[in-house]
Amino acid sequence: MSNNPSPDIPPHPDEINGLVHHFIERYDFWQADGCAAAREYLLTCYARIDGHYEQLRAWAEHMEQARQLAASFMQSSAYHDLVLNGIAPDGIVDWGAAGCVSALRGAILALAVDGWASVDAAADWISAQYPDQTPEKYGCRTWRQVIHESRRFDLRYRDEDCRKQAWYQERTKVQKVGR
């Protein structure tokens, strides 16, 4: 197997050494034929070097185009939603990376009593701390639906003040989707 990453990349080191170190020894510069052969060899080397330069220049242009496209994507709302909110461009939510799940975890840390937090209190806390995190952003109508869809939390109901209140806590073992 050749060490050469591409058949179009520069010649073997012996050829380079011959050009750099042994060029004068190789040709008889006292004769017209020797000078013509040396000139022909240099023109051939120059053409090969110029071809490699053009190939490298084209690669550099493609790399710059890729950099510009990546920078453009990183400025888009689709990238923001993907990285910060876990929402893919096709709308599928990666609940493990979802910003709303992080916000719900933060609400547990701030509000939990014996490891459980009120869903209503968490919704108010998230609205104050992370106003851009809403159930609608994730295709849900309520925070209870987010809790259910994410499969990252347990949900329980308690009777308080003659009405059922939803409370949640983080699951110790995350359920797989589809089970």
Q: Each residue of 24-35: pLDDT tens digit?
A: 888 898 999 999
Q: Each residue of 109-144: pLDDT tens digit?
A: 999 999 999 999 999 999 999 999 999 999 999 999
Whole-angstrom distance, CA of residue 83 vs CA of residue 97: 8
pTM greater than 0.85 (yes/no)? no
Residue 81: name the closest of 63, 66, 93, 67 by CA: 93
Whole-angstrom distance, CA of residue 102 vs CA of residue 100: 5
Q: Each residue of 47-66: pLDDT tens digit?
A: 888 988 999 999 999 999 99
